[in-house]
Structure 1
Amino acid sequence: MVADRQPRGQIILIGAISLAFIILGIVVVFNGVLYTETLSSGPVSQSGPDATVTDLEIERGVSCALAKGGNGKSNVSAFNDAYRNMTGESRPVAVNVSDLDVNMTPSDPRATITITYDSHESSYERNRTITASDCPTEEP
């Protein structure tokens, strides 16, 4: 009688170990799926700035390009090229400054521009009038 119980005990032990490995495998796969889903739904470490930050960067850059004097239209165009290259290399965003109407009167240089912003999250086109007086100055 004792001999009959030994093979059944080994089969139960093998079955229990197999079941444990199956459950462990399911837990590992499920955990991996949850981890991947969490990573893919979270923000990227180098996500693009929102529209407000982009507008502020462009406003300050264009106003300082106007304050520089000289040929305002070429200064603003050079800023557009530099800004587009910088954002294209560092963020998943496409920004363009176009429709330049630059008025370089000595008393009040100003530019009317169209800002086009495209990213995965949003896309917009906005017209802005920027003056040279918007350029921040350093205080001693």
Structure 2
Amino acid sequence: MVGIDEDPSRAQIVLVGALAIAFIVLGIVVVFNTSLYAENVDSTGTVSAVNQAEQVRDAGGRSVAGLAYRMNEGNYSSESDLATTMNGNASNLSAVWQSLYARSQPTVVNVSLDESSSEYGVRVFQPTNDDFRAHDGGNLENWNVTPTGGSYADVGRFDLTLERDTLETSPSDAFHIGARGGDGSGNEAWRVIWFVNDSDALDVYVGSGSGSAPANWANETEASPTCNDITVGPTIEVDMVNGSVEGTSCTFEFTDDIASVPGEDGYQVRFVDGGNAEGQYQVYLSDTAFETNSFGTRVGNSGDGPYYSYILWKTTAIVQYDSPSASYTRTATDPVYNSTR
């Protein structure tokens, strides 16, 4: 995982947007070529234009969600701050669309974010190497990454780096991460992942349970090794959502087969023994309840982490299409995470 500065300049955020647009353009070209083909084989004109407009609507929605995926890596102190930055980059994206479609016929295409209809979440992160305690909450060793106070959150992305030489050599003392949800039948289900230094190699232990979770479920779950003696460098990069350790064959399950907490719309994610390892993390969550229910500091404030920044969880794009044959405005709603993107 690449660390993100606590307060990046606007130039850095614009660069992220520019890189995102560059990748999105590749997808636009495919849609554009498909539209040209449909137009050439369709002799009715109007039907062809409507088909092209629908393709633009769908691709426009996906493009705005793809742009949000990258823009979420920046730091934003409010939903409006994020939406304003998004629309600045969406304007550049619209210019690319118009240039491409103008090659076939006079066409105006504009995409923008519907700020009020989109859904927001929070990125919880630690941008520099430190231990995994909740420093702004009193250096808590064990703490909830997801909102506290009875609120839960879905996890769209979870990047973790571990400094190998700071990991404990015994599972009983090792830093571990737990996810508590449900089994889909009204019972609770949970899984816990331990990271252990095995003579400068990595061992990953996994434990799980179901039924009624005990109060100390993240510490009372029996662990067994899933990955043994994995060769790693001094810095270990872990994708918790995909359950993988970069550059190795180690794979594991985290929340894949766990449903949401019964009666809720997300999970409880918990760091345990956070003082026994060092590294960085970025967790992208569907809930913004941290505003009133959790410790920590917002981006732009002083203090120790964890830090919090707004993200777009689900985007609603406004797609405007205007050609000699068809003209209308449509909206398209797409998830930023949990998709094939």
* TM-score of the superposed pair, with normalisation by structure 2: 0.23
Asked which structure has the greater RCO (Cα within 8 Å, sep 6+), the reply is: 2
Normalized per residue, which structure has more strand? 2
* TM-score of the superposed pair, with normalisation by structure 1: 0.50
